[in-house]
Structure 1
């Protein structure tokens, strides 16, 4: 950036000031869910380390929000499963999706939870236009769903059947040619179909294409 200075004698001097972009710190850990027993949001923040100077690049967003579901009340009561009531009837009923929640309480000892979780990969075949229209903080993630993309869905202990240790609607019994249905939590008009690709131990999809069964 070129800056012009005039001194006391009226002399003019041109000084080139180097632009400095904004620098921000690392993201804080995700907060807990804003509430228990129902779909809510969690938040993480970062702070500005250096303000932009001389026309430098502006600061990126300092706050991010994501959906989450806490399965335990403040009194320690098991809850929240009513939001996935339609998941108990197997692959004929669509699974319910949301973004991964770091604060979802498990009903299985944490030391063993990592041994039980698994990931299902699906190829999205179709989805309704409503997925791209929702701009609410809790459900904005549905805008990233696309036909023909591979998505990963985590099956974690809170959503597992206590006997089969599987998530309802995970599609494991399909042969890969069967069309399965899904529905997004918080936006029931965002739904569609996909086909199973495979089961893997850990999800490797980009964050915007990674979800969980609940």
Structure 2
């Protein structure tokens, strides 16, 4: 009699046992992905009168469970430059944006803008700045006009060369505006593409060299 009851119990357990497929389905059904809220407004620049960063954040509304999708980044940072002190005084003169265009424009510009104030010695005083791009707006990738298509090759994380030559070079200081030559390499500097003011971004100085050696698509000139 006892043996019969034990057999009945085993049969009963087997009938109620869940199949592997059913277990997987239930596990998937119970998985909860991470849900986050909307981005907060961008903060102000963390510092005034020097390249700095602004921040925006979002909060987790639902934590992931049972293998659900993990949470996306909860914080984003972007470069910024505040030209006014808390007292309203203007500052940041040495960090004006670098205005750039394709290096293909350099020969035509030099031919059209030849000036007697530039001696042969001065013309040989040009230099090249290498930068590593940190950020850029999506407007750069949208350019498809023959004269502005070069903006598509601006990419985050790439090293680019920017040539400083007459007539963009100041005839007294022998420097180009926005060249970042005085930065220590850790400062975030700003640039803007000529031809589309919405194509702009930030980069950091790598080094100054005598001649640019970047690929043509990553070679630009100061304006």
**TM-score scaled by length of structure 2:** 0.54
Aligned-residue offset at 1:111: 2.6
In the alignment, does 2:155 pair up with 1:146?
A: yes
Instruction: Give 3-state SS (helix, strand or coil) of 1:169's partner.
Output: coil
Q: Paired residue for 1:156?
A: 165
Counterpart contact for 1:116–1:165, Cα < 8 Å = yes
In the alignment, does 2:196 pair up with 1:187?
A: yes
Q: Paired residue for 1:206?
A: 215
Where does structure 1 lack aligned partners over 5 or more consecutive residues? 1-88
Separation in structure 1 between the aligned mates of residue 135 and residue 94 of structure 2, nearest angstrom: 17
Which among 177, 184, 205 is matched to residue 186 of structure 2? 177
Cα RMSD (Å) of the superposition? 1.5
In the alignment, does 2:124 pair up with 1:124?
A: no
Counterpart contact for 1:127–1:146, Cα < 8 Å = yes
Number of residue pairs aligned between Structure 1 and Structure 2 = 126
Deviations 1:22-65 (A, max 9, x none): xxxxxxxxxxxxxxxxxxxxxxxxxxxxxxxxxxxxxxxxxxxx
* 1:115–1:90 Cα change, 3 Å: farther
Which among 93, 96, 100 is matched to residue 99 of structure 2? 96
Q: 1:5-24 maps to which residues of 2 (within 5 A)?
A: none
Separation in structure 1 between the aligned mates of residue 184 and residue 196 of structure 2, nearest angstrom: 29
Counterpart contact for 2:181–2:208, Cα < 8 Å = yes
Q: 1:47-66 maps to which residues of 2 (within 5 A)?
A: none
The structure where strand makes up a greater share of residues is 1
Deviations 1:107-126 (A, max 9, x none): 34463344210000000000
Instruction: Give 3-state SS (helix, strand or coil) of 2:124's partner.
Output: helix
Where does structure 2 lack aligned partners over 5 or more consecutive residues? 1-91
* 1:171–1:195 Cα change, 3 Å: same
Q: Paired residue for 1:168?
A: 177
Separation in structure 2 between the aligned mates of residue 208 and residue 119 of structure 1, nearest angstrom: 15
Give every structure 1 segment of 4 or more consecutive aligned residues whose post-TM-superposition deviation is greater than 6 Å. none
